[in-house]
Amino acid sequence: MANLTPLHVVAGVVRNAQGDILLARRHVTKEQGDLWEFPGGKREQGEEPEQTLVREFQEEVDITIQRARPLIRIRHTYTYREVLLDVWSVEQFSGTAWGREGQSVEWCAPHLLRLRTFPAANYPIINAVLLPAIYIISTEPLKQNDPQFFYQLEKQIDNGLQLLQFRAGSLNDYEYCACAEKILTLCEPTKVQVLLHRTPQIVLSVGAHGVHLSQTALLNLKERPLKKPLWVASSCHTLADIQHAQSIGVDFLTLGAIRAPEPENSLGWFNFFTCTESAKIPVFAVGGLQYEDMSFAWAHGGQGIAGRQHLW
Ligand SMILES: Nc1nc2c([nH]c(=O)n2[C@@H]2O[C@H](COP(=O)(O)OP(=O)(O)OP(=O)(O)O)[C@@H](O)[C@H]2O)c(=O)[nH]1
Ligand SMILES: [Mg+2]
């Protein structure tokens, strides 16, 4: 008879000094044999997830984990069992990785991750690994050559910007494209990913890295508007939005407002957590957030925080 309690598996994403990620190859004789995985294993009775992570890394790859934080939790139903994959990002460790159980281990460059074959549950996890914890939404430039806007952008790039959504509702398509092209040129040297809050056609015409769909645009779509590896992200406010986003293959989303200007319209962290627990893709918390809210977002199943007011 099928076991109805999900198997709680804790796995870890470790990066070395070059930013490469540790992968292990599952033994051919195991479930999901011969596929690549993030080291980890089943939670034992009485263990906190972090204890499982530390024990499994010691047992499997001889690495001692000193500090880790939650990355993403995904429920996946295999034919043999439902699995809860509880994935952590390892922030400090010591030791040299080797396969203590005879498995191959390898450090893989992030841009090559999508070429590896993983168990089916892992594909949304790869997106969580490739995305940063902060998704910055630009303020509106006043016109296509607003010096203050580009000064602010350069400051963001110097501060380590990785993922940007360019929003400018007041610009016409021509002005928007001119501005987007300039942003892409400034972002190119540091490989900042730029998503456009505009049509997929404009994303393709200026060569941006993806599209960010409004809730309305999302609900009007019946299929993913851009092919991978371009990003498709969307704004969501309800569980129904999230389910629609997942059904058309959206890669990640923003969910909020955690703190709306009118408190009665705020989603709050508890509702955010309920949504991330059922989501199968990375979710950024949005709405009145500051850098100090990051640990709340992580603790409630978020990829991190998105916003402009306090972050841009
Ligand atoms: N460690 C790990 N397990 C994964 C990943 N993806 C994924 O679907 N799983 C699934 O999680 C389940 C349990 O993982 P595991 O076999 O590593 O458990 P374990 O280390 O305790 O193994 P053991 O039974 O040999 O002691 C398997 O069904 C496996 O397919 C992943 O990236 N890492
Ligand atoms: Mg294991």
**Which of 82, 102, 129 is the endpoint of a domain?**
129
Pair 98, 161 in one domain = no
Query: Which CATH number does the domain housing residue 55 bear?
Result: 3.90.79.10
Q: What does the pLDDT look like over 128-167, one tens digit per residue? A: 999 999 999 998 888 778 899 999 999 999 999 999 999 9
Beta carbon of 38 within 6 Å of any ligand 1 atom:
yes
CA distance 245 to 235: 9
Is residue 1 included in any domain, yes or no? no
Instruction: Give the residue, by CA position, lying nearest to ligand 1 atom 12.
Output: 9
User: What band does 28 get if pLDDT is binned at 50, 70 and 90?
Assistant: confident
Pair 193, 291 in one domain = yes
**How many other β-carbons are positioned within 10 Å of the β-carbon of residue 65?**
21
CA distance 283 to 131: 11
Show the tokens assigned to 193: 């990913």
Q: In what order do the strands lie in the sheet with 64-77?
A: 40-42, 7-13, 82-94, 64-77
Whether the CB-CB separation of 255 and 242 falls below 8 Å is answered with yes
The pLDDT score that the predictor gives to residue 3 is 57
Distance 36 CA to ligand 1 centre (A): 11
Q: Give the max Cα distance, the chain.
A: 66
Pair 37, 154 in one domain = no
Pair 193, 115 in one domain = no
Query: Which whole number is the average pLDDT over 20-44?
Result: 91
**Which of 80, 109, 129 is the endpoint of a domain?**
129
Q: What does the pLDDT look like over 86-115, one tens digit per residue? A: 999 999 999 999 999 999 999 999 999 999
Pair 79, 147 in one domain = no
Name which of 21-30, 183-192, 278-287 the model is least confident about.
Answer: 21-30
Beta carbon of 111 within 6 Å of any ligand 1 atom:
no
38 labelled binding-site residue: yes
Is residue 193 included in any domain, yes or no? yes
Pair 79, 12 in one domain = yes
Q: How many domains does the chain have?
A: 2
**Which of 72, 98, 129 is the endpoint of a domain?**
129
Whether the CB-CB separation of 304 and 162 falls below 8 Å is answered with no
Segment holding 91, helix H or strand E: strand 82-94
Distance 56 CA to ligand 1 centre (A): 10
The pLDDT score that the predictor gives to residue 211 is 98
What does residue 75 show for φ and ψ, rounded to 5 degrees?
Answer: -95, 135
The ligand that comes nearest to the alpha carbon of residue 37 is 1
Distance 160 CA to ligand 2 centre (A): 34
Pair 152, 265 in one domain = yes
Is residue 253 included in any domain, yes or no? yes
Distance 292 CA to ligand 2 centre (A): 34
Pair 123, 141 in one domain = no
**How many other β-carbons are positioned within 10 Å of the β-carbon of residue 261?**
9
Q: What is the DSSP string of 262-294?
A: SGGG--HHHHHHHHHHH-SS-EEEESS--GGGH
**CA end-to-end distance (rounded Å), the chain:** 53
Instruction: Give the residue, by CA position, lying nearest to ligand 1 atom 22.
Output: 41
User: What band does 1 get if pLDDT is binned at 50, 70 and 90?
Assistant: very low
Is residue 144 included in any domain, yes or no? yes
Give strand pairing partners of 24: 37, 105
CA of 60, closest atom in ligand 1? 20
Measure CA 23 to chain center. 18
Q: What does the pLDDT look like over 206-253, one tens digit per residue? A: 999 999 999 999 999 999 999 999 999 999 999 999 999 999 999 999
The ligand that comes nearest to the alpha carbon of residue 128 is 1
Given a cut of 70, whether residue 2 has pLDDT beyond it is no
CA of 32, closest atom in ligand 1? 30
145 labelled binding-site residue: no
CA distance 108 to 20: 5
Distance 104 CA to ligand 1 centre (A): 15
ipTM of this complex prediction, to 2 decimal places: 0.96
CA of 39, closest atom in ligand 1? 1
Query: Which CATH number does the domain housing residue 230 bear?
Result: 3.20.20.70
Mutational pocket test of ligand 1: of 42, 76, 86, the residue with most ligand atoms within 8 Å of the beta carbon: 42
Is residue 2 included in any domain, yes or no? no
The alpha-carbon radius of gyration of the chain (Å, integer) is: 20
Pair 146, 288 in one domain = yes
Is residue 233 included in any domain, yes or no? yes
Closest listed residue to residue 11, CA positions, set 60, 46, 45: 60
Buried residues in 276-308 as b, exposed as e (16+ CB within 10 A): beebbbbbbbbbbbeeebbebbbebbbbbbbbe
30 is in which domain, residue-wise?
7-129
Distance 26 CA to ligand 2 centre (A): 8
